Structure 1
Amino acid sequence: MLNPYLLLFLSIFFGMLLGNIKIKNFKLGTSGTLFSGLFFGWLFPHFVSSEKSFQNTFNIFFQFSLILFVTSIGLIASKEIKEILKKYGMKFLILSLTITFSGFLLTVTFILILKLNPYNLIGVFSGSLTSSPGLATALESVNHTSEVVFGYTVGYIPGVLAVIFSIYLIPSIFKIKISQQKKLPENKKEAKEKTFNLLSYSLVIAIGIIIGNIPLNLGFSTIKLGITGGLLISSLTLGSIGNIGKINFSFNTNLLKNIQNLGLVMFLSSIGLKSGYKVIENFNGYSLILMVISLIIALFSIFIGFFLGKYVFKLDWEILAGAITGGMTSTPGLGAALESTKSNLAVAGYGATYPFALLGMVVFNKILTLLTF
């Protein structure tokens, strides 16, 4: 009997099979679960779209898997984040704001040049950079909410795919030899630890959710960091502190990586299952144009970020890959960066740029809605 749990694990199974197919030096890896999720979401559109229990369950999968993934990567990166910020701090600020500004600038250009609904394009901007806070800012600032949401929905998948494929293909296109890049030394003592404290792990999550729901007043807008932002702050902060009294926040890295991978494949599959029927249902000539625009905006932002980080700031690819995905606020992209670089430096780069990128998306969405076209 068809149920959401069956669809989820079928998506994971076939997605992992798809991800292991290697063409020269390229393979999808865990990102294959996104495509299998899209396929099953398209194959069973009636169940996914009309059955309320299916949507509720997929939303639970989405939130729970996101919590596991983000908390684990934050705790893994927490030991290096101080050194990374000390060495690259301002570079990450500039990089993240440049990426989001590039997308904003191209969106304004498309609005001025093309005879398209500007509210659709405002939604496409947030979709291309996979930014829910950006979408929320736009929705609270305009009356044409359904038109903005439509643009976001259509633009989201091209935005995700652009980041994933770029992270895998950039090293091949620009002849970057990942194995020769610098890596931070591993903590051998930590590697020998075999503990996993569920009490501490749960506390990190609880604090992260509380932080993510605190409203931040920026003067022109009030935002929340959301689950991703809150969990990143709590896991990076508590993990770098190490312990509070008898509560220990040091975890075995291998165990965290297993939880991270489980969270990632569930996260990607649930995105595909939630979005597959929407992509097909909304597909027509006009939505195809919006999807192409989203893809162009995403690729433009990514490559501006890449050239700035690689040739101006001279960042190693491991950390730059994570910084680009953070600048694009793309959690699926981070999964691709981790898998392609095999380095936890990608997590540190993501954690350092993500908060600034969130701020950039809020500011630039606000400016978009204030402009009169």
Structure 2
Amino acid sequence: MKNPYLLLFLSIFFGILLGKIKIKNFKLGSSGALFSGLIIGWYSTSLHSNNVEVINKLNGEFQQFFLFSLILFISSIGLIASKDLDKIIRKYGVRFLIMAFFITFTGFITTYIFSGFGNKYEFVGIYSGALTSSPGLATALETASNYEKEIISGYTFGYIPGVLAVILSMYIFPYIFKINIENEKKALMEEIHFEKDKEEKFDFLAYSLVIIIGILIGNYTFDLNYISFKLGITGGVLLSSLFLGRLGKVWIFDFRMNKKILKTFQEFGLLMFLSSVGLKSGYNTLNNLNAQTLNLIFYSFIIALIAIILGFIFGKYVLKINWIILSGSVCGGMTSTPGLGAAIDANNSEEVAIGYGATYPFALLGMVIFNKILIMIN
């Protein structure tokens, strides 16, 4: 149980089996890998709890799996969705920006209300964890460096409930709110007139360039007066894949790639991503459960759920956004990559990624702004 590759593929294997279990019309799908990863991560780390060297090595490997899988998953869905990006932007435009700030603001207000029931700086961490935002965590740590321990504790126990809230909502909302997914797809097709799929080759040269440019964008620091933030690997690769994919062929680079190959990359990247999240979080999450941490988990789940539900209601009934695009927009507002995977799986539609891609950058900015405000008023 010291081999990180064995642990990764055990998590993927059992995650797929778990995801196939169906209760009425509900199943976990690819998200099963998160739960199998949590259990296997806890068990494998427990076996070596007295060997710090082994644990550090495993955690380092799990982090590398996490980053590589993000690149695979995000780049593939961005390239798939890119062909219809401009049509969706023309149709919904500024509504994506409004969704991003509405969801992050709702999470901020809910967190502020709940912060009166515990350590205020733990709730600063919970805010970033519930909305699964690493840039938000970085901003909080930079702004309140004297409270690093409390902020990290809140984020650690807030992250998994935040992920679960988004994943479950993507599968359950259509049943609760009586959304006919097939009708939503047909309505979207009538509104947008998507391009037909063509049999394309796969250009590894162009694919490598997409990732290189995405990583460079993700590492660039945007300075806006008193606010600075990075898009990170997720935001950078997503923007480069959407933009370059829309350009098509440029010189020797062909960014229109074979959809079947991209979908394989997408599925494998998602399974690997969810497994690695579970593997690296399993020990701390399951081994440190007590009354205090259970409270943090509960508050995080409620904060995430309120932001998701209000975001959905606002987007569906006020902004009138089609569910296929809205589901991606909600995940983008929550900056949740696992949620995006669940939304694509639940709707069986890559167009979900367009809503995610258009909302995500604004949500990152919202997280940076509201994290600073949360610390200032605390």
Listed as ranges, the gaps of 5+ residues in structure 2 are: none
Q: Does 1:150 align with 2:157?
A: no
Q: Find 2:265's aligned residue among 240, 259, 262.
A: 259
What TM-score, normalized by structure 2, do the two folds share?
0.95
Q: Go from structure 1 to structure 2 and tell me whether the alpha carbon gap of 1:145 and 1:48 turns closer, same or farther (over 3 Å shift).
A: farther
Q: Give CA-to-partner distance per residue, 1:152-206, whole Å, 9 cap, x none.
A: 0000000000000011000011111101112445543x4322x111111000000
How many residues align structurally?
Answer: 368
Distance 2:228 2:317 in 1: 36
SS at match of 1:257: helix
- Per mean C-alpha deviation after superposition, the further-off stretch among 37-46 and 285-294 is 37-46
Distance 2:327 2:344 in 1: 9
Compute the displacement of 1:48 (Å).
7.2
Aligned residue in 2 for 1:64: 68
Q: Does 1:179 align with 2:186?
A: no
Compute the displacement of 1:90 (Å).
1.1
Distance 1:168 1:24 in 2: 12
Distance 1:280 1:48 in 2: 15
Q: Which residue identity does 1:26 align to in structure 2?
A: F
Q: Which residue identity does 1:327 align to in structure 2?
A: G
Distance 1:267 1:245 in 2: 33
Q: Does 1:367 align with 2:370?
A: no
Q: Is the 8 A contact 1:48 1:277 kept in 2?
A: no
Alignment of 1:85-124 (within 5 A): 85-112=89-116, 114=117, 116-124=118-126
SS at match of 1:140: helix
Aligned residue in 1 for 2:37: 37
Q: Which residue identity does 1:118 align to in structure 2?
A: K
Aligned residue in 2 for 1:19: 19
Aligned residue in 1 for 2:248: 242
Cα RMSD for the two superposed structures: 1.3
Compute the displacement of 1:47 (Å).
5.4
Q: Is the 8 A contact 1:322 1:337 kept in 2?
A: yes
Q: Is the 8 A contact 1:183 1:345 kept in 2?
A: no
Aligned residue in 2 for 1:74: 78
Distance 1:48 1:351 in 2: 40
Compute the displacement of 1:221 (Å).
2.6
Alignment of 1:175-324 (within 5 A): 175-181=178-184, 182-184=187-189, 185=193, 187-188=195-196, 190-193=197-200, 195-324=201-330
Distance 1:164 1:278 in 2: 21
Q: Is the 8 A contact 1:325 1:333 kept in 2?
A: yes
Aligned residue in 2 for 1:356: 362
Q: Is the 8 A contact 2:2 2:58 kept in 1?
A: no
Q: Is the 8 A contact 1:134 1:361 kept in 2?
A: yes
- What percent of counterpart residues are identical? 57
Q: Find 1:128's aligned residue among 130, 142, 148.
A: 130
Distance 2:198 2:11 in 1: 32
Q: Is the 8 A contact 2:107 2:303 kept in 1?
A: yes
Compute the displacement of 1:243 (Å).
2.0
Compute the displacement of 1:314 (Å).
1.6
Distance 2:20 2:198 in 1: 27
Q: Which residue identity does 1:219 align to in structure 2?
A: N
Listed as ranges, the gaps of 5+ residues in structure 1 are: none
